[in-house]
Amino acid sequence: MIREFFYRSGRRYASKWTVLIIDLGIVSVSFILAYFIRFNLSFNFDVQRLWTQLPIVVSLFLLAFFISGSYKGVVRHTGIKDVYAIFNAVCLASIGAIAVVMVNRYSGFDNEFTIPLSIIIINSLLTFIALAASRYVFKMSYEALMNRNEAPTKNLVIYGAGESGIITYNTLTNHSKMRARVIGFVDNNQQKVGKQINGVKVYDKSVLTREFVKFNNISEVIFSIQTINPKQLRTLVNEIVDLPVKVKIVPPVEDWINGELKISQIKRVQIEDLLDRPPIEIRNSKVEKDFDEKVIMVTGGAGSIGSELVRQICKYNYRTLVVVDQAESALYDLQQELKQAGFFNFVPIVGDIRDKNKMRVLFEEYKPDRIFHAAAYKHVPLMEQNPYEAVKINVAGTKTIVDLAVEYDVEKFVFVSTDKAVNPTNVMGATKRIAEMYISCRQQEGKTKFITTRFGNVLGSNGSVIPLFRKQIEKGGPLTVTHKDITRYFMTIPEASQLVLEAGAMGQGGEIFIFDMGESVKIMDLAKNMIRLSGLHYPDDIDIKITGLRPGEKLYEELLANGENTLPTYHDKIMISKVREIDYGATRSMIDELCISNLFFKDNVVQLMKSIVPEYISNNSDFCKFDKKEPQTDLNKKSEVRFSELNN
């Protein structure tokens, strides 16, 4: 019955006036007890004077409660701030009582209103202790009654006994529906090891063994360290991923909602959290000034990179944002997302960049000052089978937008390229390199400043390896890896978009921007880590299958082509690639021929592409027959050498 009463009443919060009345009652009892304590638990004092002074004391505390607002807190969620408010109220009331004593003493008023100083001090201590204790007792009683006969749903360990770890503990234990029990903290600081925080012991990391986890029935380890970098996090995670626990992480403080950590923000550690480099941050950004009152157009604006570009651009003070994409559903989803986020100054356009008439109408109507060209076909195996479409979009489509940019005097044109354009081994990479070359040709003409950004694989983008592995894990495996030694560079979508925007702001025309992406990642290791982070084991739970290199696929990607080197920029992670000289006239003539020739014959188009890009040597593809005969192993060795030279 009592539990039922608490449950029903607990769904409502107690009235603040009820709390105020109870607090005043506690003040009255404490004042009476103060007299008994002062006079050795006897009645050797003037009881009439006590009753005369009591209303004065209660009135002073009433005023202090109103000023401090201590009675407004939700009692069952009492925390440090609530206790601090009580302390302030007691101090204010005590100062008021002392002021009354001083006024009476020096004004000749009735001495019955004079309260002994010792009584004031004793009353202050009793009142503070009683008010704080009453809230604590009610809070503990409420939680005990609510959780009676209900065992914790899971046992947890918090990795990190610092301030963030303590906040995480409070968030978990104060969440009524969580019913989680924190078994202990784990910390590398030996000064904390062996001590207790809120009655929970702090352990050394060596305690995290399979036996400890099994004995305490631990289901989750939550990392709550704000100062940790990705490399340290990866090392710590690797130490425990083989344990039968879920590994979660607390987000950075700046991502907390209104400065408070919520249960929903504690997420499973993702492979993105384990990149072997710190996240790239642009601190000296010129983007805000560059976008001020400008008309901006984003092609491919509903894609992975394009949509993130749009999200970031929306935060600036531009005049108009035109978003172009042929994917109607994806563009609609982006439109609804932006509207719900409070952004309305943008124009979504369903259109194909190959349609020059439609694009000309857009240029004529909106007259863009900045263009971010992200529209492209990017899937290597599909483009290897469909070179016609690859050329039409990646080359002819880019040529259309570039030509219109020159014709309409667009100030800046930023092209989103790829590391697959470097010494390409597939149709997709070759088309992106040809697009880069055409942009270099047009840089010599007109007022438009053409800027190229070149980066590696983007984590979480459509068709990338991470979402593929996640789907395969959900289905029970196996995970498919094309080669046991294949490596790739990775970056996050926000990083990629940030780089593109910054390149557009700093570029003066003709540059190819690349950036330090850290060490390349071995895809085999990536697959194993994803299996472990899912709480499973390789190969017992999920196996990895080697499928062989796909047509056109490299073992190693590169960021620089042969004959290129770099120049620094004001950001130590962003560099400018110095490209080798090309014959602009001959190159442009061949590209024009490529765009107007009969592209339905695969062999013809690929042969012409190889003429335009001499370093385009097919790998594991039907188009290898058009290359000078060279053993495949030698090609891989050359890629490995170029890869090593880049890292050195």
The model's pLDDT over 590-615, given as tens digits with 9 standing for 90+, comes to 998 888 875 567 788 888 999 999 98
Among the listed residues 391, 386, 445, 395, the one whose alpha carbon sits nearest the alpha carbon of residue 415: 395
Q: How far apart are CA 256 and CA 263, in angstroms?
A: 10
pLDDT at position 243 over 90:
no
- From 147, 169, 201, the end of a domain falls on 147
Domain match, 423 and 569 both = yes
95 occurs within a structural domain: yes
Domain count, the chain: 3
For tokens 């050195």, the residue is 648
Among the listed residues 626, 417, 380, the one whose alpha carbon sits nearest the alpha carbon of residue 514: 417
465 occurs within a structural domain: no
pLDDT at 324 (0 to 100)? 96
438 occurs within a structural domain: yes
In sequence order, what DSSP letters do the residues of 114-131 get, joined into one string? PPPHHHHHHHHHHHHHHH
Q: How far apart are CA 592 and CA 595, in angstroms?
A: 5
CA–chain centroid gap for 543, Å, is 30
115 occurs within a structural domain: yes
Q: How many CB atoms lie within 10 A of CB 207?
A: 15
356 occurs within a structural domain: yes
For tokens 């990629």, the residue is 496
Q: What is the CATH number of the domain that holds 178?
A: 3.40.50.720
Which pairing describes strands 200-203 and 512-515: parallel, antiparallel, or unpaired? unpaired
Q: How far apart are CA 446 and CA 277, in angstroms?
A: 40
pLDDT at 69 (0 to 100)? 80
Angle at 166 between CA 162 and CA 171, to 5 degrees: 145
Q: How many CB atoms lie within 10 A of CB 7?
A: 12
Domain match, 251 and 309 both = no
- Cα→Cα distances 515→286, 434, 519, Å: 17, 21, 12
In sequence order, what DSSP letters do the residues of 580-629 get, joined into one string? PP--HHHHHHHHHHHHHS-TTSHHHHHHHHHHH-TT----SSGGGGGSPP
pLDDT at position 241 over 80:
no
Domain match, 162 and 206 both = yes
**Strands ordered across the beta sheet of 246-249:** 196-197, 200-203, 180-186, 154-159, 218-223, 246-249, 267-268
Mean pLDDT of the chain: 81
99 occurs within a structural domain: yes
pLDDT at 280 (0 to 100)? 61
* Residues 439, 428 contacting (CB under 8 angstroms): no
Mean local confidence (pLDDT), 493-505: 84
Confidence label for 412 from pLDDT (cuts 50, 70 and 90): very high
pLDDT at 638 (0 to 100)? 42
pLDDT at position 558 over 70:
no
- From 120, 147, 174, the end of a domain falls on 147
Domain match, 233 and 250 both = yes
Domain match, 213 and 314 both = no
Domain match, 32 and 97 both = yes
Q: How far apart are CA 513 and CA 439, in angstroms?
A: 14
Residues 6+ away with beta carbon under 8 Å from 473: 479, 530, 531, 534, 536, 542
Confidence label for 487 from pLDDT (cuts 50, 70 and 90): confident
Task: Tell me which range, 88-92, 230-234, 489-493, is most confidently predicted by mean pLDDT.
Answer: 88-92
Residues 6+ away with beta carbon under 8 Å from 83: 132, 135
Domain match, 353 and 395 both = yes
Domain match, 263 and 332 both = no
pLDDT at position 231 over 50:
yes
Confidence label for 146 from pLDDT (cuts 50, 70 and 90): low
Which has more pLDDT, 114 or 345?
345
pLDDT at position 396 over 80:
yes
pLDDT at position 111 over 60:
no
Task: Tell me which range, 310-319, 464-473, 622-631, is most confidently predicted by mean pLDDT.
Answer: 310-319
For tokens 């080197």, the residue is 565
Three-state DSSP class for residue 193: coil
Q: Which helix (H) or strand (E) holds 514?
A: strand 512-515
- From 147, 176, 203, the end of a domain falls on 147
Mean local confidence (pLDDT), 621-644: 55
Confidence label for 10 from pLDDT (cuts 50, 70 and 90): very low
The model's pLDDT over 517-531, given as tens digits with 9 standing for 90+, comes to 667 778 888 888 888
pLDDT at 72 (0 to 100)? 75
Among the listed residues 101, 126, 104, the one whose alpha carbon sits nearest the alpha carbon of residue 116: 101
Three-state DSSP class for residue 523: helix
* Residues 380, 420 contacting (CB under 8 angstroms): yes
Burial of 600 (0-12, 13-18, 19+ CB in 10 A): exposed
Residue 396 DSSP symbol: I
Domain match, 132 and 171 both = no
pLDDT at 634 (0 to 100)? 43
Q: How far apart are CA 57 and CA 28, in angstroms?
A: 8
Among the listed residues 55, 94, 89, 95, the one whose alpha carbon sits nearest the alpha carbon of residue 73: 89
420 catalytically annotated: yes
Report residue 428 as tokens.
Answer: 């997709």
Residues 6+ away with beta carbon under 8 Å from 328: 350
pLDDT at position 285 over 80:
no
Domain membership of residue 181 as a residue range: 154-269
Answer positive or negative: Cα dihedral of 222, 227, 229, 232: negative
Catalytic annotation, pick one of 420, 449, 528, 610: 420
pLDDT at 7 (0 to 100)? 45
* Residues 513, 451 contacting (CB under 8 angstroms): yes
Rg (CA), the chain: 34
484 occurs within a structural domain: no
Among the listed residues 273, 309, 299, 290, the one whose alpha carbon sits nearest the alpha carbon of residue 404: 299
**Strands ordered across the beta sheet of 347-350:** 347-350, 320-325, 295-299, 370-373, 412-416, 449-453, 512-515, 574-578, 565-568
* Residues 641, 560 contacting (CB under 8 angstroms): no
Domain match, 109 and 91 both = yes
Domain match, 122 and 15 both = yes
pLDDT at 219 (0 to 100)? 86
Q: How far apart are CA 94 and CA 88, in angstroms?
A: 10
* 286-291 long-range contacts, CB within 8 A, separation 24+: 286/502, 286/505, 286/506, 287/316, 287/501, 287/502, 287/504, 287/505, 288/316, 288/317, 289/505, 290/370, 290/504, 290/505, 291/316, 291/317, 291/318, 291/370
The model's pLDDT over 174-213, given as tens digits with 9 standing for 90+, comes to 765 567 788 999 998 888 998 988 888 999 988 888 889 8
Domain match, 97 and 178 both = no
539 occurs within a structural domain: no
Q: How many CB atoms lie within 10 A of CB 315?
A: 12
pLDDT at 197 (0 to 100)? 87
